[in-house]
């Protein structure tokens, strides 16, 4: 492995550690009465908003690729929970809660796309002013 690859891995790992700790913090703030599904939705949607904002800012500032690796790949990769989302959906199906699973999938998907669009286009709009 080359030195650049090792440096990239270290940057992604540092961001990922912060993202994972942030996710853990959100999962334990106690506002959804211990229903983990709502935490996963909140994490995924806020992650999509944040990734839209950060991508717009990094692009606007012509940031070094290390910032993309740290913030987008590492931090948001550790924070968002797509794998947990898919497992949660399958658990709901296994529990015979198919309609809740469909709602959960739809709100996460629509909320994620909407959040990313708001973050990206809203930030781009603010940067142009």
With tokens 């012509």, the residue in question is 62
Q: How many domains does the chain have?
A: 1
Domain that holds residue 24: 3-128
C-alpha 92/C-alpha 100 separation (Å) is: 7
Who contacts 122 (Cβ-Cβ below 8 Å, separation ≥6)? 52, 53
- The pTM score is 0.80
Question: Quick check: 108 and 83 in contact, CB under 8 A?
Answer: no
Structure-token pair, residue 54: 């950060």
pLDDT, tens only, 78-116: 999 888 888 889 999 999 999 999 999 999 999 999 999
pLDDT, tens only, 51-74: 999 999 999 999 999 999 999 999
Who contacts 88 (Cβ-Cβ below 8 Å, separation ≥6)? 36, 37, 40, 104
């Amino acid at each position: 492995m080359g030195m650049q690859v090792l440096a990239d891995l270290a940057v992604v790992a540092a961001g990922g550690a912060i993202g994972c700790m942030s996710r853990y913090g959100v999962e334990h703030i106690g506002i959804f009465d211990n229903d983990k599904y709502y935490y996963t939705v909140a994490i995924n949607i806020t992650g999509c908003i944040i990734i839209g904002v950060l991508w717009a800012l990094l692009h606007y500032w012509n940031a070094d690729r290390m910032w993309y690796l740290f913030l987008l790949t590492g931090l948001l990769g550790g924070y968002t929970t797509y794998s947990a989302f898919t497992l949660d959906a399958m658990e709901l199906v296994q529990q015979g809660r198919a309609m809740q699973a469909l709602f959960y999938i739809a709100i996460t998907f629509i909320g994620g796309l909407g959040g990313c669009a708001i973050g990206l286009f809203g930030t781009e709009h603010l940067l142009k002013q």
